[in-house]
Structures are given as C-alpha cells and as structure tokens.
Amino acid sequence: MLLVRMRLTRLFAIFFAFYSAACSAQTAARYTVSGTVLNSATAEPIRRALVAVGASFVFTGADGRFQVEGIPQGQIMIAAQKPGYFDCANVFCSNGSPARVTINVQSGANEVVLKLVPESKIEGRVVDEEGEPIGDIQIQIQGEHIFNGQKQSRPDGNAVTDENGSYRAENLSPGTYTVRTMARPAFWPDPGTPSPAQVYPQRFFPNAPDAASAQQLDVTPGQVAIADFALTPAAAFRITGTIAPAVPSLSLNVHDSDGAEMNAPLRFDPKSGKFSLSFVPTGIWNLEFTYNQADGHSLYAAQTVTVDSHDVKDLRIALQPLPSVSVNIVNGPAQIQLVSTDPRWEGGIFGGMDPPGTPEGPRVVIVPPGEYKVFVPAPGNDRCLVSLTSGNIDLTREDLIVAPGSQPQPINAILQNDCATLQVTVHQQNRNAQSTVLLIPASRAMQPVTAQLDSTGSYVFTDLSPGDYEVYAFSGIDGLEYANPDVMRDYSGQQITLSPNQHVNVTLDVIARGAN
C-alpha cells in the first residue's frame, strides 16, 4: 500500500511539473494587442467603438485607442463596430482598410488600424407649384449594389414627408441612389360632386417623369445629400374591368416600363369579379393580377394599359395558372436556379435545391412569364455539368423565355463525374494580404466563383465542368462588377480550357485595386 502511495505521489509530482511548465509556456506566449479605430471619411478617432479581439471585447477611448493584454500567440481576428457606422467589408471603401483584420500575434508590436465608414443620409423637402409643403408623400430610396459581381438596384430606404413637407432617410451606406416620390391623390373628391380627381404623380429626383431621365445621387461616407421636389397635381383617371374566373381575393401590382411600382387604390368585388383602380395618372402602365391558391399555386394575368385623357373601362382579365417548368436532372442531385432578367424581379431566384428525402423524378418550378438565366451552381460530390438544354435551346449560351400562357420545354441537366481541377498560385509580395482569386466560366449556366488564398498563396478549384474559363487574382474585389463582361475587359486575366478529368496549374500576378 505504501509503495502504491509513493508511486502515485511521484506521478502527481511529474504531472504537476509538466503542468507548471505548460502554464509557464502559455503565460510566456501571451502578448498585448493594441490599435486605433478611425472614421474612414475624416481619419478622426472614434470613441466608444466596440472592438472584438478574439474572444475579448473592449471599448475605444476618446482617442480611438484600445488595448487588450494576455492574447495568446497565433492567428486572431480583430473587428470593430459602432452604431451609425458601417464595416468596409460590407461596403466599398476606396480610402480605408476594413474594420476587421486577421493578424498573427507574436512578440513585438501587435498594432492594428481599423476604419469604420460613417452612415450617409438623404433628406429633402416636397412642395407644390406654389411652394406650399406637401405632407404624407412616400419617398423611396433605390440604391445600386453589387451582388455576386452583378449590379442590381434595390430599395434601401423609405421616408414620409411631415406637415412641413420634410423627410429624411438614414442608415444609408455610401453609394449611388435614385430618389422618387410615390403617387398619391392630391385630394379626395366628394363622390357627389363632378370635380375631377387629381393626383401628385410619382417623380424621380429632380422632378423627372421616369427613371431614365432621373438624376442619381452619388453619396459619400457621412454625407447628407439633398433631394428636393416640386410637385404639380395632374389629372387622374380610373381603370375598371372584370376578372375571370371568380376568385375570393386579388392582388395587383402596377408598374411602368422601367419596373417602378405605383401605388393606386384597388377595389375588388369577389362576387361579381369587378375591379376598379383609382387615381391613375396618364402614362403606360403594366397591370399584374395574382391570386394565390391554397395549394401553393397561383393564377396570374398581365395587361398593359395606356391612360391618356379619359377613364379606361370594361377590361376583361382572364386569370391563368402560372407557367410551370419541368426540370430533369441526370446523375444528380443538383440545384437549378432560374434568375429573372426583368427589372420587376431583379435578382429574383426561382427554383433551388430539393429538400432531403425528396423522391427521384422531374421537378417543377413555377415562374411568372419573362426571360430567365438558368444557373446550375457547383453540385459538388465529384459531379459537374455537361449540358443544360430546353428543347433545342442550349441554356449555357441562351436565356430561357417563358411566354404568357405557355408551358416551356423541360429543362434537362446532365451531370457527370469527369470534372476538372484547377490549382491557382499567386505571386504576392505581402503574404498577409488577403488577395482574391476570381474564376469566370464562359458558360452562362455557371456563375463566377471567388476564393481566398490559403497560407501558401494557392487555391484549388475542384469539380469544375470541362470548358473555357478566365482566371484573375485581385488585391480586392469590393465594388467590382465582375459578372459584367464590359467591366472585365479592363483587366487582363489568364484564359484556360479544361478537359474532362484534367488537372491544371496556373500562376498569376495580383491585380491591384483601390487602396488594397
């Protein structure tokens, strides 16, 4: 028994010695990380910004400085945030580093500079032709953004004028914006009087009738941009008609040729099928009627109407089932996406990955009539796209057009396991730089792919479909519309052709952009 105790005592002593040595090593391998958080627009320090240094959090002082002690050696991410500011990782910053960095903590100086972008604002005043304020006018702020390398327009802010005709839209990131007023009745006439209806029509800054003649606002970080309007009431008219078949409810979207929506009061009587659309200004309007059925399918109709100097009466609208596109996948599974090119559905994606447990067989995608790009995102699992067709249409070269009331030919996607591999190595002087590799396929059915380099300055693309590609290495792709061929003509990439089962190695130089 005594011998056992002696052995245990010796083991504990050895364990304690090792544990003490390990703790000493860990203590000796901890360092201090410090830095400054700045306003990217003014270079002034930002106080009370919250900084995350790994799992530790600290606020900056009045001088924008922060310091955290006891950070272990190795890679760690540092990020800053504060209400009223944006992270440059999410918006394009031409004059500053992002508000999050990854550093290798080691002996010596572990100093970083983080920059936050101050939010921008758009404000203005809406008056009539006599300079009197107009209240209760809805303002829509439409911003230009780049998603997956493609420029898109989306609503970024809304406001309503007060009794002084003033409005303000806040929390806007720096960028390009279109500002417009939404139509509303100038006054509500008494139904018993013959006075004509009038409306404040929608206007695009500065008082333009359509988006094509609008003036865009280029808003810089922290700027308060001004967009004033002077509205003149215009005559308004009614559109009436009948919907068939009978439905219990109805939704209506009214938009112009640019896809800009208009607010117009709708009355619908489900018993008679009659509808009435009031306070419609002159112009050419596209009406889209939709009824969503309980089984998830929808009835749909579209009608273009020209309103000039009188009411439009007795429209006959026939609702029909939305077109369904059958999708057949050979050697799947795979994801099929139909992306609308119509301004009304800009960026809208129809279709997608089937949920787990879905039985094999054709899939059906319900879409509104229109034109679509058909994409097959990388399926993985050693599968890649060989062909994508609809009837005699090669969807790797052409778009899919779905006509109203039609049922297009099925989409047939064939996958195989003869995929190619591309290894990209990048020459870069600064090993800590976060360079980005961009791979752009010639096929319209595949979207560009971006990737960050690993610690060796390389990246390997797998499961690539045989075909033609162009590959680039950029210091950064913020604000780069890389899905636009016209934009990419300004940059020189390396063209490659991949054959089935081929492994290709390429070496690239970094293309510098902005302040990166």
Q: What is the DSSP string of 42-69?
A: T--B-TT-EEEETTEEEE--TTSEEEEE
Structure-token match 């990782």, residue found = 89
Q: What is the dihedral of CA 472, 476, 480, 482, to 10 degrees?
A: 20
pLDDT of residue 5: 43
Confidence label for 355 from pLDDT (cuts 50, 70 and 90): very low
pLDDT tens, position by position, 393-414: 999 999 999 987 778 899 999 9
Residue 199 token pair? 């409306």
- Sheet containing strand 237-244, strands side by side: 266-269, 274-280, 237-244, 312-318
Confidence label for 17 from pLDDT (cuts 50, 70 and 90): very low
pLDDT of residue 147: 80
pLDDT of residue 23: 47
pLDDT of residue 25: 45
Residue 233 has pLDDT above 60, yes or no: yes
Q: What would the mean pLDDT of 160-165 be, rounded to a whole number?
A: 97
Residue 356 has pLDDT above 60, yes or no: no
Q: What would the mean pLDDT of 332-343 be, rounded to a whole number?
A: 83
Nearest partner of 387 among 292, 312, 447, 465, judged by Cα: 465
Is-contact 115 222, C-beta < 8 A? no
Residue 201 token pair? 């029509």
pLDDT of residue 24: 44
Q: Which fold has domain 420-509?
A: Immunoglobulin-like (2.60.40)
pLDDT tens, position by position, 194-215: 556 889 999 999 999 888 899 9
Q: Could you say which DSSP state residue 32 is in?
A: E
Residue 269 token pair? 């009587």
Q: Which residues contact 244 (CB under 8 A, 6 or more apart)?
A: 273, 316, 317, 318, 319
Instruction: Give 120-234's CATH code, choosing from 1.10.3720.10, 1.10.287.3510, 1.10.540.10, 2.60.40.1120.
Output: 2.60.40.1120
pTM for the whole structure? 0.76
Domain spanning 28-118: which CATH class is it, in words? mainly beta
Q: What would the mean pLDDT of 286-306 be, rounded to a whole number?
A: 89
SS3 188: coil
Tell me the pLDDT of the chain averaged across its residues: 85
Among residues of the chain, what percentage have pLDDT more than 90? Answer: 53
83 cis-preceded (ω within 30 degrees of 0): no
pLDDT tens, position by position, 103-117: 888 887 789 999 999
Confidence label for 91 from pLDDT (cuts 50, 70 and 90): low
What number of other Cβ atoms are within 10 A of residue 178's Cβ?
21
pLDDT tens, position by position, 450-507: 998 776 788 999 999 999 999 999 988 878 899 999 999 999 999 999 999 999 999 9
Instruction: Give 237-321's CATH code, choosing from 2.60.40, 2.40.240, 3.40.50, 1.10.1760.
Output: 2.60.40
SS3 357: coil
pLDDT tens, position by position, 26-38: 455 789 999 999 9
- Per DSSP, which regions of 82-190 are E strands? 85-87, 100-105, 111-118, 120-128, 138-147, 150-160, 166-172, 175-181, 184-187
pLDDT of residue 350: 73
